[in-house]
Each structure stands twice: as C-alpha cells, then as structure tokens.
Amino acid sequence: MMALGEWLEGDDPFAQTTVDKIEVKNDALIFAQKFLIFTSGPGLDLLNHWSSKVRNRKISTNATLGELAYYNGEREFVEGIHQQIQFAQNGGQSPYKDR
C-alpha cells in the first residue's frame, strides 16, 4: 500500500487490493462471530427479550421526535445484532448473495 501522497496522477489512492479486501472481510467475520454469544443460553434469552420488546412496541402517534429517535435507535441496535449473527452463520457471506 502506498503512503499518503505517494500516488501518481490518475492512480486511485482509495483502491483496495484483493488482499486488502480479503483482510477486511476476514476481520468483519471475526467481529461478527462475537455476536454468536446471543445464540444460546442467557445471551439468547436477552436477545429474545430485546427483540420482542422492540418488535412489538406500539409508538404513540403524538410521540416527540426525541422519542422516535430513541425507539428507532433501540430497534436498529437489536436488528443489527440479528444481522451480525446471520453474517457470522453464513460464513461472512451476505444473506442477499445468490449461492
């Protein structure tokens, strides 16, 4: 990889090599595998509680923007855990990728 400012005109300083892409993918998979703690035992109980709480919540039609932001943030947090688990269980492959 070139140091900052060492590229020539026409070169893409943000281009990743195949090795860089594989390394990033492997790092993402290793990180996602940490979320597998939520697939059994107390971790699963906790995730199930959070999931039912955010998925079944009824939000008032006159909720403030702050309340909506809070509830959306909480929902995104829980859904993000589910996505990381799925990513790890798929071996780092997107669930949307044709197999």
- Whole-prediction pTM: 0.72
Average confidence (pLDDT) over 21-40: 91
d(C-alpha 38, C-alpha 16), whole Å: 33
Residue 75 forms part of a structural domain: yes
**Residue range of the domain that includes 57:** 18-89
pLDDT confidence of residue 18: 75
Domains identified in the chain, total number: 1
Residue 3 forms part of a structural domain: no
d(C-alpha 59, C-alpha 69), whole Å: 11
d(C-alpha 4, C-alpha 45), whole Å: 47
Residue 13 forms part of a structural domain: no
Is there a contact between 87 and 29 (Cβ–Cβ < 8 Å)?
yes
pLDDT confidence of residue 5: 58
Is there a contact between 29 and 92 (Cβ–Cβ < 8 Å)?
yes
Residue 63 forms part of a structural domain: yes
Give yes or no for residue 96 having a pLDDT over 80: no
Residue 98 forms part of a structural domain: no
